[in-house]
Chains A and B, each alone.
Chain A
Amino acid sequence: MAVLGGTSYSYFRYETHLAALNAVPVFAEIAEEFARSFGRTHEAVEAYHTDDAELVFVMMGSFATKAKDAVDRLREAGWAVGLLRPRLLRPFPVGHIQRVLAGKKGVAVIDQNLSVGMGGVLHSELASALYGLPHAPPVMVSFIGGLGGRDIGPEEFYEMASVTRKAVEEGKAPAPRLLYTDEELREVRKLQAIAQVEREDLG
């Protein structure tokens, strides 16, 4: 069916939005049914060791399993950290996220994307979901990593936790950071130098 004209279109667009919002409780219902059939639980938002956490990593996708591992290691070292892993982006489970993050001291959002001209998408979504909330975490730090299949190493999770803890102590979030090592930069510079020489050889 074609929906033509501003009046009809606005109506349908709004109805679609309301229907999408209704999908949040439906997701929980289906997830339960899935768990009964297959024995695996996939909640709209997975919260891992968040109850007693002061700092929380927020991350989406399969790379979040790396964050889980990092949480385990950091907890062994005495850090009160947790992980929040949204499985839904639309509809965005705002209520769940607000409940889990309320009262936390600091949040480290790890985006595996870079929306050019703005920054990490999940970071923006989260900021929008938490803005104005009375118990919103006072500090939210943005990290960009894992672009183009690049790995995110355990030491980088440690680094992100340290940066976030420091930001909490200072009460001020630093500028968004790209996870990129000196070695990687050297590698790219090396390729650029080779390309430059090739260019000169071409004449």
Chain B
Amino acid sequence: MFRRMKGLPSTHLLGAGTPMCAGCGGLEAIKEIYDILGEKTVFLNAAGCMTLLAIYPFTPFRGSWLYTAMASAPAGAQGVRDALDVLLHKGRISPEEDLEVVVLTGDGAAYGMGLSATSGAIERGLDFLYICYDNEGYGNTGQQYSAATPHGAKTSTSKGPRGFPGYKKDLFAIWSAHRAAYVATVVGAEPLDLARKIEKATSLKGPRLIIALSPCPTGWGYDPKETVEIGKLAVKTGVWPLKESIDGEVVHTKTPRKRLPVEAYLKRQGRFAHLFRPQRNEVLLKEIQAKVDAYWERVG
């Protein structure tokens, strides 16, 4: 159990020099997660930003990495898990050589296109860890809105004065409703909370999900150096609740004592600039604040 920041790994497993954007909040989270997961992992990566991590002949990973179509990573994970089980059963690999099967996708696949395959995998009780780097849009193709885009955010497909008209889908609740073994939210800016959750996830068997909020300078419109700050603000304003669910029971792992107004988070990002300029959109700002307040009142 990690108790202090000092106890976290000081050297990193993930290689440097990847083609991710500077300040990528997704890469920040993956880097921290990989350190805890360790080398005995095999990644199933659905189409998305992280596809670009491993481009022949380069890879920052220590082990295997497979690329699947956008909707198929959990199905790929089933195949890999089955193959490993067959090898174990035949004695071709020892239990020490077994690998953790890790699905790595963005929110486009996790919240939308791949949800059907995900539901099937959970239903079958597949032993796998699903990591979703959630940058709240199809970032790799120009930040079109996804099922994870928050209400009011401007994306390349929601350019109107009110931004995205829909509401962020509650993937955490969807997984919990499936009675998945473990579901947790993390953000790279809170590495201790993240490390504890990955540690817990790896100690369990069955379908497990980690949703990592991934501040995205390119898609969200802010300076890359502010990624950590924006991640922290997401937690401090209560916009991104850090929580976990084991067998359907939800626990909040880091409750902001005094929540900052959501404005503190929104005004730092270009995708919400239309809420402040040319004039403040009080109605929308109040609506967003009210949603966050209502959430915390409900779970309070």
Contacts and interface: CB of A to CB of B under 8 A. Distances in A.
Interface of A: 188, 191-192, 194-195, 198, 202
Complex A-B, nearest 7 residue pairs according to Cβ-Cβ distance, in ascending order: A195-B57, A192-B57, A195-B58, A202-B15, A191-B57, A198-B15, A198-B58
A191 B62 CA distance: 18
Contacts of A195: 57-59
Contacts of B7: none
Nearest to B17: A198
A198 B17 CA distance: 10
A198 B58 CA distance: 8
A194 B58 CA distance: 9
Contacts of A191: 57-58
Tier of interface size on chain B: under 10
Contacts of B59: 195
A198 B62 CA distance: 11
Contacts of A192: 57
Contacts of B62: 202
Contacts of A194: 58
A195 B54 CA distance: 11
Query: Which among B57, B58, B59, B62 has the greatest number of chain A C-beta atoms within 10 A?
Result: B57
13 contacts: A188-B57, A191-B57, A191-B58, A192-B57, A194-B58, A195-B57, A195-B58, A195-B59, A198-B15, A198-B17, A198-B58, A202-B15, A202-B62
Given A188-B57, A191-B58, A194-B58, 10 more contacts: A191-B57, A192-B57, A195-B57, A195-B58, A195-B59, A198-B15, A198-B17, A198-B58, A202-B15, A202-B62
A202 B62 CA distance: 9
A192 B55 CA distance: 11
A195 B59 CA distance: 8
A188 B59 CA distance: 15
A131 B58 CA distance: 45
B258 to A, nearest CB: 43
Contacts of A188: 57
Contacts of A198: 15, 17, 58
Interface in B168-217: none
Interface string B60-100: 00100000000000000000000000000000000000000
A194 B15 CA distance: 13
B34 to A, nearest CB: 12
A197 B15 CA distance: 12
A183 B58 CA distance: 20
A195 B58 CA distance: 5
Nearest to B60: A202
Nearest to A192: B57
A189 to B, nearest CB: 10
Query: Which among A188, A192, A195 has the greatest number of chain B C-beta atoms within 10 A?
Result: A195
A41 to B, nearest CB: 38
